[in-house]
Structure 1
């Protein structure tokens, strides 16, 4: 793990007050802008901050300071720490939720259940830092405050990021079995639309022709005389 400078502004104040280093050298060493170092020297910035001696903290040696004072182009180098602290191991556990936002978790859970039913309980637990019992009570409407819950987007509430939510939704979509989509109505192509209109006109013309033949005078008299002719033949 690379060494980092402790309290950069306090160190810059000490270097301005106790050395003849240039503003650029101090700015590069402390990770500040050169104008900010100039403002510190003029007393316009970092007021009320006490200077920190980098030599006493083991971050800079006297020899390094003297060498930089003799050569304005020389860049100060941070000393390696004598004691290396072990890196803390990340503990896997439920997401920590600030106390001020914990009251919003039930609303976020209700929103996830309604808008993303494909999410598993474990995924909801990772997103909002809740328990399986709370998710079950909200889903079954047995939560103590179920009547007053209002679904709210967990991203808007600050309980998770949009990227985290999208990743969980995509993961749930991959695990969900594929569903066969039924063909719904679709827009006709120009050729299909013209063909359908022509067929409709032809159908209307045929129906009109049938009506004219049915109600014509000759056909009516023919139907009225047909039974009489048959009776005369029988006599």
Structure 2
């Protein structure tokens, strides 16, 4: 059974499984493994419970399976069917660009946008870019399109008709062919030649310096307000406060100053007579 996991699956797995269920005696496990489907899917097909009805596809006629392989599988339920010839993958190499059905109605709007914004792009390039015909492009350019009244130029990249890289490549190629070059403006004397990055760095530095200055001014204002508050409180208490004493830890109260002064004068008065008597003697 492990070999079936490495081999390719049929080109139409569900249709092939339907045919094998209807025309062979292979087990559901063998059919599911050969077609790369889940066992329950094959069983639903056999019980006619599948959501979609598939028309059977003969893998023998397609060359993907041989009658000998089918007989071996019917004889042994554990036998793994081997792919006789792998299906060839179908790829589109030519033709216009494929556009989903849901977006085909947006093609005229994308064509009108390219014609208006990039007239140097040729009809062949537009046809390949958007996946349309030259007749449609000509009708939109000459305004003879049957729905010209409802066509509004819209970016084909926004509409999902092409990628931005594809559009840029087509426009660059058309501009080169037409000899259109982007003019680089000459530098103006006296103009600021610095890059946006340097300007942004300088603005940030200036903003930082301004914030530091503002913080310093705020600190000075707070210090001045504190000094004024201390001075006002000292004046209310009758004490003169010098600017350098505004933030002293403590200031002696006026009562303490008066008591100290009175005590000193009384002591001097009491000792003065004794000194006079001593001098007289």
Corresponding residue of 1:168 = 167
1:16 aligns with 2:55: no
Task: After TM superposition, give the deviation of residue 127 of structure 1 in Å.
Answer: 1.7
Alignment of 1:1-235 (within 5 A): 5=10, 7-45=12-50, 49=54, 51-55=56-60, 58-80=63-85, 90-91=93-94, 95=97, 104-113=106-115, 117=118, 120-121=121-122, 122-128=124-130, 129-131=132-134, 134=137, 138=141, 143-144=143-144, 149-155=151-157, 157=159, 160-161=161-162, 163=163, 165-170=164-169, 172-173=171-172, 176-177=181-182, 179-180=184-185, 186-187=199-200, 188-192=202-206
**Residues in 2 aligned to 1:190 and 1:156: alpha-carbon distance in whole angstroms:** 37
8 Å CA contact retained: 1:134, 1:143: no
Q: Cα RMSD over matched residues?
A: 4.8
Corresponding residue of 1:227 = none
Task: After TM superposition, give the deviation of residue 19 of structure 1 in Å.
Answer: 3.5
Counting matched residue pairs gives 184
Task: After TM superposition, give the deviation of residue 28 of structure 1 in Å.
Answer: 2.0
TM-score by length of 2: 0.46
Unaligned runs of 5+ in 1: 199-235
TM-score by length of 1: 0.52
8 Å CA contact retained: 2:108, 2:140: no
Q: Deviations over 1:50-100 (max 9, x none)?
A: 54544455442232122223443432123238xx99x89844x65577999
Structure 1 100/14 Cα, relative in aligned 2: closer, same or farther at 3 Å?
Answer: closer
Task: After TM superposition, give the deviation of residue 26 of structure 1 in Å.
Answer: 0.3
**Residues in 1 aligned to 2:149 and 2:47: alpha-carbon distance in whole angstroms:** 62
13-22 or 100-109: which moved more?
100-109
Task: After TM superposition, give the deviation of residue 110 of structure 1 in Å.
Answer: 3.0
Task: After TM superposition, give the deviation of residue 168 of structure 1 in Å.
Answer: 2.8
Q: Deviations over 1:7-46 (max 9, x none)?
A: 4334323322444423221012223221101112222127
Q: Which structure has the bigger radius of gyration?
A: 2
8 Å CA contact retained: 2:118, 2:171: no
Structure 1 18/180 Cα, relative in aligned 2: closer, same or farther at 3 Å?
Answer: same
Corresponding residue of 1:206 = none
